[in-house]
């Protein structure tokens, strides 16, 4: 651990705490569990300039004000990228599911928390997660990483322009400006059974929240890129969400889910290629087949027609997979 982090711990009463580094994820952030200090806590290291603690601190306060559970920020040094945050425990929803927990109660509780999250007016200052931004992020993985790996060369400018137009045409009908977590899935959710709903689900990894359509978050939950979700449970969650938000038009919302699912699944399927090639993390490629299958399902909905037409023209179905040659990297 860096001397600056050790000094930060000492300044806040955690000099003698036992430190247990937690497994790293796909981001630059690092977490260390602290035991034996003034209270159970985590040290979050979010090194600038890659990371910025400001949004995390502000959004945590917003979530708590909305009656949801976000880790309390005990101390922070945004300049150096250090924060002491409340420790919700050692087992995420994903870990409980992996250990054999019954999925339905966890998914339905998460759905209720998500409905509350979306029903509350968003805080000021969030960036846009609109069709322009979503086209850019999809291009950054699909065109910049998957395409050269699959075809052996970068796409032409014309291909890039047509792809952007397809994403925009697909998502523009569902423009919205509500709070979007952007990574609302089991690995970022902590069951807190001692708290009353909807605070019985702890929310993590929310610093990239933005203004967009709420369908994106529900897709993230029930069409998880990293685990299979039973179709019946998926449908139960969608129905529960719509029951909790009766002001929404159900057919329009389902169309928005299909359009946002198509963007997300394509972007994430190609993100695994970038993580393998650029970041030396080939194990993420094992999720590729699931993401491409989820994309295929989303493309069947009329709302995803613009992207389906682009792919039918430029990417034969046989190529909609991890690029040839990367399978051995995932082993």
The CATH number covering residue 178 comes to: 3.90.1200.10
The CATH number covering residue 73 comes to: 3.30.200.20
Does residue 272 share a domain with residue 296?
yes
Cα torsion 10, 15, 17, 22: sign: positive
Domain range spanning residue 33? 3-86
Q: Which of 47, 69, 86 is the last residue of a domain?
A: 86
Q: How far is CA 72 from the centre of its chain?
A: 21
Does residue 99 share a domain with residue 119?
yes
Query: Would you state the pLDDT for residue 28?
Result: 84
Contact 151, 235 (CB under 8 A): no
- Cα-based distances in Å from 6 to 34, 42, 47, 231: 12, 13, 15, 47
pLDDT tens per residue across span 16-55: 999 999 987 767 899 999 999 999 999 999 999 999 999 9
Query: Would you state the pLDDT for residue 97?
Result: 98
Does residue 164 share a domain with residue 115?
yes
Number of structural domains in the chain: 2
Q: Which of 29, 55, 86 is the last residue of a domain?
A: 86
Nearest one of 103, 70, 72 to 189, comparing CA atoms: 70
Does residue 115 share a domain with residue 38?
no
Residue 247: Cβ within 10 Å count: 6
Does residue 103 share a domain with residue 33?
no
Does residue 196 share a domain with residue 50?
no
Q: Which of 36, 62, 86 is the last residue of a domain?
A: 86
Query: Over the range 28-60, which residues count as b (16 or more CB within 10 Å of their CB) and which as e?
Result: ebbbbbbeebeeebbbbbbeeeebebebbebbb
Does residue 98 share a domain with residue 82?
no
Nearest one of 192, 204, 141, 135 to 167, comparing CA atoms: 135
Does residue 247 share a domain with residue 280?
yes
Does residue 268 share a domain with residue 186?
yes
Does residue 231 share a domain with residue 97?
yes
Residues with pLDDT less than 50, the chain: 328, 331
Query: Would you state the pLDDT for residue 139?
Result: 98
Query: Would you state the pLDDT for residue 327?
Result: 58
Does residue 155 share a domain with residue 27?
no
Query: Would you state the pLDDT for residue 253?
Result: 98
Query: Would you state the pLDDT for residue 23?
Result: 85
Query: Would you state the pLDDT for residue 308?
Result: 98
**Coil, helix or strand for 289?**
helix
């Amino acid at each position: 651990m860096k001397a600056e982090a050790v000094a930060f711990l000492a300044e806040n009463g955690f000099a003698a705490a036992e430190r247990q580094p937690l497994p790293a994820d796909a981001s630059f952030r690092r977490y260390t569990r602290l035991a034996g200090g003034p209270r159970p806590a985590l040290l979050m290291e979010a090194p600038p300039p890659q990371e910025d603690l400001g949004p995390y601190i502000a959004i945590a306060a917003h979530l708590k004000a909305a009656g949801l559970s976000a880790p309390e920020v005990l101390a922070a040094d945004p300049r150096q990228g250090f924060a002491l945050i409340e420790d919700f425990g050692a087992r995420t929803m994903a870990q409980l599911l992996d250990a054999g927990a019954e999925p339905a109660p966890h998914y339905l509780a998460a759905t209720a928390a998500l409905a509350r999250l979306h029903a509350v007016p968003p805080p000021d200052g969030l960036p846009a997660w609109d069709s322009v931004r979503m086209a850019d992020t999809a291009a950054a993985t699909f065109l910049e990483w998957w395409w050269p790996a699959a075809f052996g060369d970068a796409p032409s400018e014309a291909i890039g322009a047509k792809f952007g137009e397809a994403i925009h045409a697909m998502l523009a009908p569902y423009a919205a400006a509500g709070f979007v977590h952007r990574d609302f899935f089991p690995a970022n959710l902590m069951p807190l059974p001692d708290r009353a709903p909807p605070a019985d689900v702890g929310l993590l990894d929310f610093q990239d929240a933005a203004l967009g359509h709420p369908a994106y978050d529900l897709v993230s939950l029930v069409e998880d890129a990293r685990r299979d979700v039973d179709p019946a449970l998926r449908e139960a969650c969608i129905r529960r969400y719509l029951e909790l938000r009766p002001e929404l038009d159900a057919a329009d919302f389902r169309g928005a889910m299909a359009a946002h699912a198509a963007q997300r699944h394509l972007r994430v399927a190609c993100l695994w290629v970038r993580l393998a090639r650029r970041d030396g993390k080939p194990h993420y490629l094992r999720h590729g087949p699931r993401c491409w299958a989820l994309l295929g399902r989303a493309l069947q909905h009329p709302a995803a027609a613009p992207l389906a037409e682009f792919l039918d023209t430029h990417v034969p179905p046989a190529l909609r997979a991890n690029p040839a040659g990367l399978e051995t990297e995932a082993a």
